[in-house]
Structure 1
Amino acid sequence: MSLAVKRDVGMDVAAFRLWAEARPDAERWELLDGEPVLMAPPRERHQRIVMNLAGRLDALAEPRGCRAVPNLAILSAAMDDFAPIPDVVVRCGPPLPDGYATDPLLVAEVLSPSTMSLDRGRKIDFYRTVPSLKVLLIVYSDEIRIEVWRRAGEDWGVTALGPDGTVTLPELDGSVPVRDIYRGLTV
């Protein structure tokens, strides 16, 4: 005999946005599979990687009328129960009226040991549904390693880079040496 368990229906993005507005400003929440998830304060090492990466990406993006911004939520019409907040988002066009982007060109997730399986699993599945997204960077914080996920038509390819690698970004007419992303850190 089998037992069917009915899963409670989670929040959609509209309900999450209303709910999140009432939360204290010091709290950062993302919506994953219909569930609000409180984001823990990141470690200093994590933040150093984010700052290095955001600075290099912003320098490449600005001449194209784009910018690198930390902590914007990403939305996709294909998955209305997700609003993840990656570490860095590159987008073009006018500034957003709020913290929700539907048009990222590039997204970067800096992995933390506690979020690695989620960031490399469900979030990648979600990001692949965002039509404007061309590049996804998965940046490891505990080793010098970056995965570059790039859209090629309907498919995605992935390349792993180590300490001597360079993240080539034709979308931004430039590149970033992997070592620059980890500048100021010991491994």
Structure 2
Amino acid sequence: MGLAVPENVFAGQMSVAEFRAFQDRRPEHERWELISGVPMMMTPPTIAHNRIASNLERLLNDALRRFDPSRVATQRLGVEIGSSAYRPEPDVGVIDADYDAEQRFSDRVYLLAEIVSATDDVPIPGTAGRWIDVKREIYLSHQPCEAVLIVEQDRVEVRVDVRTANGWQSAHLVGPAAELLLPMFGLKCAVGELYEGTPLQPRVISRPKQL
């Protein structure tokens, strides 16, 4: 992994505990991430962003029901992973299905996915990367994680990292016909299925039948 992620929290910056206390005081509809010790509210997602996340969640859950019911996919997952200066919030994650009724956060996530948005382009001080690059490095460093997906919302393209016995293997999938294969989650689908119902892969709309 080539991107160095600074971990120190300096004077005036929030610790993780302070950040979680801050989140508890904010309205539930707000979405915050801790970036280099600084809380940042995420830009409200586009409709296309939400559609891609919903499609991925559905495809994963359909596959997991058949392949491994002990796991479940969910959106906007609170995760307790990262260093002392970072707390990302992935768009979609796969966790154990036996979570508690009042549980908000997970420290064991098997798949972490981001649909790239404008906020992800924020440059991170002390690194040569953007917030999306730092998040990917944090996800790759999470020991239970078996796959990381970075999904573009303005073009049909997915970056896939899969953990193997020999380390991480990466691939770029471009175009709707490219195949997304995640055998550890029982998922095999065309990349275009992630974009179904978006302007990049619109539904075929037929006129309703007359009664």
TM-score (norm 2): 0.78
SS in structure 2 of the partner of residue 126 of structure 1:
helix
Distance 1:59 1:123 in 2: 26
- Tell me if structure 2 keeps the 8 A contact 1:30–1:73: no
2:197 aligns with 184
Q: Distance in 2 between matches of 1:126 and 1:16?
A: 18
Q: Which runs of 5+ in 1 are unaligned?
A: 1-5
Quick one: which amino acid aligns to residue 148 of structure 1?
Answer: V
1:86 aligned to which of 90, 95, 99: 90
- Report the residue type matching 2:161 in the other structure: W
Query: How much has 1:71 moved relative to structure 2?
Result: 0.5
Instruction: State the structure with more CA Rg.
Output: 2
Distance 1:153 1:83, change over 3 A: farther
Mapping for residues 1-187 of structure 1, pairs under 5 Å: 7-8=10-11, 10-63=13-66, 64=68, 65-76=70-81, 79-96=83-100, 97-116=102-121, 117-119=130-132, 121-153=133-165, 155-162=167-174, 163-187=176-200
Local SS of the residue matching 1:156: strand
Letter in 2 for 1:82: Y
Instruction: Note the aligned Cα RMSD (angstroms).
Output: 2.0
Change (3 A) 1:153 1:74: farther
Distance 2:141 2:79 in 1: 11
Match of 1:3 in 2: none
User: Quick one: distance in 2 between partners of 1:89 and 1:126?
Assistant: 14
Amino acid at match of 1:172: F
Per the TM alignment, residue 14 of structure 1 is displaced from its structure 2 partner at its CA by 1.7
Encode CA deviations 1:90-144: one digit per residue, 9 max, x unaligned. 112421443211111101100124424321x111121122111110000000100
Q: Aligned with 1:19: secondary structure?
A: helix
One-letter code aligned to 1:173: G
For residue 157 of structure 1, give the secondary structure of its aligned residue in structure 2. Answer: strand
| In 1: Cα distance, 2:91 partner to 2:143 partner | 19
Higher mean C-alpha displacement, 41-50 vs 169-178: 169-178
For each residue in 1:160-180, what CA deviation from the matched residue of structure 2 results, as whole angstroms up to 9, or x when unmatched? Answer: 112211111111123121011
Q: Is the 8 Å Cα contact of residues 12 and 34 (structure 1) preserved in structure 2?
A: yes
Identity in percent: 28
8 A Cα contact 1:61 1:90, kept in partner: no
CA distance in 1, matches of 2:111, 2:118: 22
Tell me which amino acid in the other structure corresponds to 1:184. G
In structure 2, stretches of 5+ residues that fail to align are 1-8, 122-129, 201-211
Count of residue pairs the alignment pairs up: 180
Q: Which stretches of structure 1, 4 residues or longer, exceed 6 Å deviation after superposition?
A: none
